[in-house]
Amino acid sequence: MSDLSAGPALPGSLPRIHTMTFGDLAFALKAGFRDFLRAPLFGLVIGGVFALIGAVIVASLTVWQLPWLIYPFAIGFPLVGPFAAVGLYEVSRRLAAGERPAWRDVVSVIWAQRRREVSWMAFVMLFVFWIWMYQVRLLIALFLGLVSFASFEQFLTVVFTTQDGLLFLGIGHVVGAVLALVLFSITVISIPLLLDREVDMVTAMIISIKTVFQSPVVMLGWGVFVTLGVLVASLPLFLGLFVVLPVFGHATWHLYRRALP
């Protein structure tokens, strides 16, 4: 296999991958914020849709008397962020090409992904999210099985003030971190790549993983930054997602373009 750190891509080989720096992250973030300001309505609508979805799910968990699922859901919610940003990637792609994005064109591109490899990546992401929620329920059954929670506040009290609760919290976050690392590595570059070029899902995931492993500190730093940003944006009833999600979505597109010049 050819060296991916330098030189042009050969026919039939993987493309050249640029070694990322923190300067690339700063550039991508600035470019993402610029794209948001250039086409704010797209970002506000897409961010608003997912803010509404988050609020509805939290409300539903409260009505169904499952408030203890709110915390793991909020932690796992960023896992589906890359797929949520597909429309934002298309907006950034059109802006970079000097085009003026229109709703009809962007929506048609999003709808067309159901017949392309991006739809399979969506399945992978939702499957990992399902595993995350399932392991939370499994760990609760193992460590807190005899405890009932009447409210979200009571769940937090048990988790942070009992030995079993702290053990559940520690193991749950370790498992969650592993799942998040795997999902981040296979999606951070692959989803914008699949939108932009005609490659298969497996090749896209390999390129994404190689990008992360070639610049682990920078790329994992970006993953942590995005995760924390989405979590903070989700705290005030998910309202922060109106701005944070589109900015990160646009920025991820520019990060992909820097990684695969």
Tens digits of per-residue pLDDT, 55-77? 777 776 666 666 666 666 666 66
- At which residue do the structure tokens 């903070």 appear? 232
In the chain, % of residues over pLDDT 70? 83
Q: Would residue 229 count as lying in a domain? A: yes
* Residue 58 structure tokens: 């939290």
Residue 74's pLDDT is 64
13-60 per-position pLDDT tens digit: 678 899 999 999 999 999 999 999 999 999 999 888 888 877 777 776
Number of separate domains in the chain: 1
Q: CB within 8 A of 1, min separation 6: which ones?
A: 13, 14
Question: What single-letter amino acid sits at 252?
Answer: T
Residue at 13 is within a domain: no
Confidence label for 2 from pLDDT (cuts 50, 70 and 90): very low
7 belongs to a structural domain: no
12 within domain boundaries? no
Q: How confident is the model at residue 230 (pLDDT cuts 50, 70, 90)?
A: confident
The whole-number pLDDT of residue 117 equals 82
Range of the domain at 255: 22-259
The pLDDT tens digits for 101-143 are 999 988 888 888 777 888 788 778 778 877 877 887 788 888 8
Task: Confirm whether 6 is domain-assigned.
Answer: no
With respect to residue 75, please indicate whether it lies within any of the assigned structural domains. Answer: yes
Q: Is 2 a member of any domain? A: no
In a domain, 4, yes or no: no
